[in-house]
Amino acid sequence: MSRSPQRRRGRQSAGGDRGSAAVELTLLTPLIVLLLLLIVYAGRAVNARGQVDTAAHTAARAASIARTPTQARTAAEQALAADLTPDAGPCTRVTVTVDTSQFHAGGVVRATVDCQLDQSDLAAGLPLPGQRITATASAPIDVYRSVALASFLQQPAPPDGLAWRAVV
């Protein structure tokens, strides 16, 4: 007689936990999905940052090889169009700004790339914010490379005592 009440207690305690795993899974599934979306969101942002950095370096390098400031801007835009387009890349809007204020032999060219990252396609119905990613890169102009005469005339005057003297 004493054995049957013990078995009932065992069966009753096991029967009371039935379905609890399904309820726990149902409650945790939205949190798991949200965590996965956060991982993908961060991964896309890191990937876009790398692409924008690379595009800025490529644009600056292309601008530093040009012979005139106008050609430098055109070369930077062409390099950017090859690297980072709104159709193929993560950015919906891309702009490049080229600083040619020091465009002379031994000077520096700076390229700034601005990218508007839109991640609204990641989760329909969730208002995910877009991000603005900006990268700046500079490239030196070779000291011994010839630049166009107009660029040479824009060079700053040498400091006193270092002016060029003609030897007769």
Express each pLDDT in 18-56 by its tens digit: 777 888 888 899 899 889 988 988 898 899 899 999 999
| Alpha-carbon dihedral 79, 84, 86, 89, rounded to 10 degrees | 160
Q: How far apart are alpha carbons 122 and 117 in whole angstroms?
A: 12
Contact residues for 23 (Cβ-Cβ < 8 A; gap 6+): none
Q: Between the CA of residue 74 and those of 63, 66, 70, 71, 111, what are the distances in Å?
A: 8, 9, 6, 5, 12
Taking a C-beta distance cutoff of 8 angstroms, is the pair 100, 63 a contact? yes
Per-residue DSSP letter, 161: T
Taking a C-beta distance cutoff of 8 angstroms, is the pair 113, 52 a contact? yes
Give 37: exposed, middle or buried? Use CB within 10 Å, 0-12, 13-18, 19+. middle
Q: Is the pLDDT of residue 140 over 50?
A: yes
What integer is the mean pLDDT of 150-156? Answer: 49
Express each pLDDT in 57-90 by its tens digit: 999 999 999 999 999 999 999 998 888 776 667 7
- Predicted model pTM: 0.70
Under DSSP, is residue 91 helix (H, G, I), strand (E, B) or coil?
Answer: strand
Express each pLDDT in 94-134 by its tens digit: 889 999 999 988 899 999 999 988 887 777 777 777 889 99
Taking a C-beta distance cutoff of 8 angstroms, is the pair 62, 76 a contact? yes
Q: What H or E segment, with its residue span, contains residue 151? A: helix 149-153
Under DSSP, is residue 82 helix (H, G, I), strand (E, B) or coil?
Answer: helix
